[in-house]
Amino acid sequence: MNITLNNKEDIRGQIPPPYNGQFENGICHPLLYLWDAWSYVEADIMHLYCLAVSRLKHDGTTLHPSERNDFPFHIRHFTSDNNGRSWKDEGCFLETNPWSEKFNFYTIWSGSVEALSNGNKLVAFTALEQVDINHKFVQNIAIATSKDGYSVDKILDIALSSPRKDWKSIIIKGYYLDVPEKLGNTAGENGGPILAWRDPFIFLDKEEKINLFWGGKVSPNKGALVRAELEKNGTLYKIAKLHPPVTVPDGDEFTQLELPKVLYDKDKKLYYLIISSCNRLYEGQSDEEVDKGVRVYKSKMINGPWEALGGKILGSENLFGPTVLKTDFRNNRLLCIAPYTDAAEKHLSLTFSSVFYLYLDNLSIAFLPTI
């Protein structure tokens, strides 16, 4: 990755208004590259969120997918009233401006949105700050609120969790972070990939307590699942308890644990964990050498131990960072949607697939018939 602030002005104004049309059998946006996914359902409306960046630079030339990390992202919002068979573009949900300068964050990475019992929506996302030209990847867990899921109302004044501010308390819990002066190093952490403190996922447990899961590390080349319990702090939230890191049984097969999703089957009293994994060994490694995929686990307890349901899936389809739109535990399946990676065929790269079922008994997938 190579993120620079020099192009920040180029991308301002490049966030298009909602597309006037309906997307069927997936989302191939003519103006935007799309990747990563999270969602919730309310009143039979599916709300899908993802990262997005313009396909064109400010001067009208094409922005190549490999260049997208040079520009700030925004979070795009889509809705569906027919179980994901078609989607409506609701426009930008969250952008880096105008709040970025106040918080010293220059771009945003993935997160989640969850409806609370009072009807308000809790929003979590990854906010990046750049210390200097060689330390661009300082990732922070940030929290916001939304009344309707269509726009953000308020963003927490400080990061919920910051590797710079909270370095000591994070290390004490058993997580790995490079020494403070090297945090966010573009060359990675001690020979491994860049800092991992990202992709928060909101999960309401059986007591309706708010848990936040995200991706971290226990060594420079080994990913871990982070769990924090939140409590109300005025109108927003703070971390009440940061739990020790949780690793998965096949964790030695990959270096980065990303985009976790946690589900609960109340009838079977089972938790399911879905992660996207990557075996990048070091920054600057050729993408052709990097293997990406999705993995699924189950556990009787929210903190594990987790049992792998199989190996890596969706890699051959070039799908990564899926979201579960609906659970159907009675039929042992999950209704999902996922974006195609930039390794997919050109016309599919950084677009969304049509919806598909992921079967938990054998981790097979079945795309729904097209409309």
238 within a domain of the structure (yes/no): yes
- Residue 219 belongs to domain spanning: 8-367
Q: Average pLDDT in the 83-87 region?
A: 98
pLDDT, one tens digit per residue, over 318-338 is 999 999 999 999 999 999 999
**Is residue 103 predicted with pLDDT exceeding 90?**
no
352 within a domain of the structure (yes/no): yes
pLDDT at 343: 92
3 within a domain of the structure (yes/no): no
Contact of 76 with 51, CB cutoff 8 Å: yes
Q: What is the token pair recorded at 355?
A: 């919806």
**Is residue 6 predicted with pLDDT exceeding 80?**
no
363 within a domain of the structure (yes/no): yes
Q: Please, what's the b/e burial string for 36-49 (b: 16 or more CB within 10 A of its CB; e: otherwise)?
A: bbbbbbeeeebbbb
Q: What is the token pair recorded at 79?
A: 């809705």
CA dihedral 50, 216, 69, 145 (to 10 degrees): 40
Least confident range from 75-79, 152-156, 218-222, 279-283: namely 152-156
92 within a domain of the structure (yes/no): yes
124 within a domain of the structure (yes/no): yes
pLDDT, one tens digit per residue, over 137-175 is 999 999 999 999 999 998 888 899 999 999 999 999 999
CA–CA gap between residue 338 and residue 142 (Å, rounded): 24
71 within a domain of the structure (yes/no): yes
3-state secondary structure of 10: helix
Closest CA to 78 of 6, 150, 9, 130: 150
Contact of 95 with 74, CB cutoff 8 Å: yes
Domain count, the chain: 1
pLDDT, one tens digit per residue, over 197-213 is 999 999 999 888 999 99
CATH number reported for the structural domain that contains residue 222 in this entry: 2.115.10.20
262 within a domain of the structure (yes/no): yes
Beta strands (DSSP E) in 104-253 are: 107-115, 121-129, 138-146, 154-155, 198-204, 210-219, 222-233, 236-242
pLDDT at 59: 86
**Is residue 263 predicted with pLDDT exceeding 90?**
yes
Residues 6+ away with beta carbon under 8 Å from 251: 222, 223, 224, 257
